[in-house]
Amino acid sequence: MKKITLLLLALSISAISYAQFPESFDGGPNLPAGWVEFIGANGEGTTWNWTINDDDDYASVRWSEVLAGGVTAEDWLVTPQVTITSTTNQLSFFMTDFNAPDFGSEVTVRISTDANQTNIAGFTDILLTVDELDTNGAGFQPFTVDLDAYVGSTIYIAFVMENNDGDGWGLDDVNLEALPDCPAPVVTFDDFSSTTVDISTNTVGNFNVEWGEFPYTQGSGGSTALITNGDTYQISNLTPGVSYNVFVRQDCGFDGDSSYVEIVVGTAPDDLSTLPHTEDLEPDANQALLLNLGLSFDNNTGSWNFGQDNTTDGDTTNDFASNGISYMFSSSTFSDADADATVFIGPFDLTTANEYTFTFQQRNFAAASSTTPVRPNKDIEIVVATTNDGTANTVLATFDDLDNLTYVQRMASFTPSSDGSYYFGVRDKSSFLATVEVGNSVIIDDLNITSQLSVDSFDASAFTHNYNKELKTLNLESFSGAMTKVDVFSLLGQNVISKPLSNTSESINVSSLNDGVYLAKVSIDGNSKTIKFVKN
């Protein structure tokens, strides 16, 4: 590039160079002049690459689906070439992913001093990585990048979304401005309990912290605290199962205060050990994070996602939810690797004296097809574990080749060998399909955990049962009190009979059932017992 020696011309060039910023993407449906988008060097990327959402005026990119395991798609958005000066040495922008939880996608901010705007090899400097946990689908969040090392250099800035069946992202209000004397901190949400949240900053210093129950606006009367010569802080005395907006700014003394940085944090629910426990997946207005519902994830190959039905489509029927509008789904299907993604609920404090039953409603998104477009069925496991990292799973039940489009209740029972904290989970283990062309999803809703005295603890002398082959009836008799309910399940976990009871002696007609082995859960005097019988 020819060096410009005339001051007047140099100033003119500078004015042209910075005319693109700030960029709010409100100039119509096309990318702004000088901006380019393209997919990565491996040729994998969404057909809906970076584009302009003309209704809401921001740039957005969609996720790529059904890639081979281990393959990552890249979608690049690159700014026009700009020269960095002492008045433009900070990049600022707003960004969000569109859904919770963590689908495994991220956006990196990269810098190139190469003359070629689309030369991927030139973008050697990665200055910031934004992953889904930084935004949690909670709306646009502010980010800044220090460009002081590039003062005097002419650069391109790239926003690169990387994913395999990840999430959609939005980008807005990209600007180059002077690096403040007091830079805004990078704040991280580190840990949580039912009443506390731990945060940290990227540097040791003095910080003002302000927080309030979601959705909270800074300066509207929340709680405040000071961090003095530190980089960590625990916010305490919080409400269980609630999200909070937290605002942090740095106090730089004579250099003033930084701008506030906002993050969304949350607490765990405190009612998980009060059984029965039901989670309908319908968040309250003050719940922005799935951890508020007691959910956590071990997403290795593929991921579990949170979905909600469209309530503005004009019909009055549920799209996918069992009831309400919310559900969880896993759409992990690959051409060369089995899925491995688990959604957990817990932890629950369980004892050896009780047997615990985990039930949920399950359906698939669409019917499997072996003809074009090839669509797979789904395979899942019900697991129990002492941790939620996938390293201690015990399989309680397996359901292969699922293809039901109406909800079926799935169940599994568990009696712990030792008292302790346990998680129940649903693991998508769908086998890979080399010929897959379109994805499929397994959908779950209405999670429920109940407890009853274990078989060893239940007073066997106070209850008897038998099956009458001639009459096709299951006969139940209690000597300790009236029975209140019976639920009959197939070995696939489907609830095939549910009947209220009121007597000490009951006869259940099972003639409509196919021959086979069934489990009957009988409730008696506040306790329950699960028995096995053969219908023939």
Residue-wise pLDDT for 224-238, tens only, equals 999 999 999 999 999
Residue with tokens 């991280």: 188
Report how far residue 80's alpha carbon sits from residue 59's, in angstroms, rounded to the nearest whole number.
15
User: For residue range 171-200, what is the model confidence (pLDDT) as tens digits?
Assistant: 899 999 999 899 889 898 999 999 999 999
Least confident among 64-73, 74-83, 145-154, 349-358:
64-73
- Band of the pLDDT at 9, cuts 50, 70, 90? very low
Cβ distance 132 to 105 under 8 Å? yes
pLDDT value of residue 303: 80
Residue 161: other Cβ atoms inside 10 A: 30
CA 9, CA 82: separation in Å to the nearest integer? 16
Q: Is residue 22 reached through a cis peptide bond, with omega within 30 degrees of 0 on the bond before it? A: yes
The band of 166, judged by pLDDT with boundaries at 50, 70 and 90, is low
Which pLDDT does position 20 carry in this prediction? 72
Query: b/e for 387-396, b at 16 or more Cβ within 10 A?
Result: bbebeebeeb
**What pTM does this model have?**
0.71
Beta bridge partners of 487: 498, 521
Mean pLDDT of 333-338: 70
* C-alpha dist (Å) from residue 380 to 328, 396, 429, 471: 14, 11, 5, 36
Tokens 């009055």 found at:
316
C-alpha–C-alpha distance, residues 333 and 402, integer Å: 14
**Higher per-residue pLDDT: 188 or 303:** 188
Tell me which DSSP letter residue 134 carries.
G
Asked if 489 and 411 count as a contact pair (C-beta separation under 8 A), the reply is: yes
Interacting residues of 519 by C-beta distance below 8 A, sequence separation 6+: 413, 488, 489, 490, 491, 530, 531, 532
pLDDT digits (tens, 9 = 90+) for 490-521: 876 678 898 999 998 999 999 999 988 888 88
Question: All domains of the chain, ordered by start, with CATH?
Answer: 7-177 (2.60.120.200), 187-266 (2.60.40.10), 277-453 (2.60.120.260), 460-535 (2.60.40.3080)
- For residue 364, count CB atoms less than 10 angstroms from its CB and return exposed for 0-12, middle for 13-18, buried for 19 or more: buried
Does 5 score more than 80 pLDDT?
Answer: no
Q: Is the pLDDT of residue 6 over 60?
A: no
Percentage of the residues of the chain whose pLDDT score is greater than 90: 50
**Residue 82 in this model has a pLDDT that exceeds 90:** yes
Q: Which is more confidently placed, 312 or 118?
A: 118
Alpha-carbon distances, residue 268 vs 108, 241, 291, 292, 419 (angstroms): 30, 5, 6, 5, 21
* Interacting residues of 223 by C-beta distance below 8 A, sequence separation 6+: 210, 211, 212, 235
- Measured between alpha carbons, how far is 158 from 107 in angstroms, rounded to an integer? 10
Which residues face 489 on adjacent strands? 495, 519
- CA 445 to chain CA centroid, Å, is 15
455, 297, 435, 426: which is closest to 361 by C-alpha? 426
Please tell me the least confidently modeled range out of 135-144, 403-412, 431-440. 135-144
Cα–Cα dist 176/150, whole Å: 12
Residue 150 — φ and ψ, nearest 5°?
-105, 10
Q: Classify 160 as helix, strand or coil.
A: strand
Residue 291: φ, ψ to 5°: -65, -25
**What mean pLDDT, rounded, does the chain reach?**
85
Taking the C-alpha atoms of residue 122 and residue 116, their distance in angstroms, rounded to an integer, is: 8
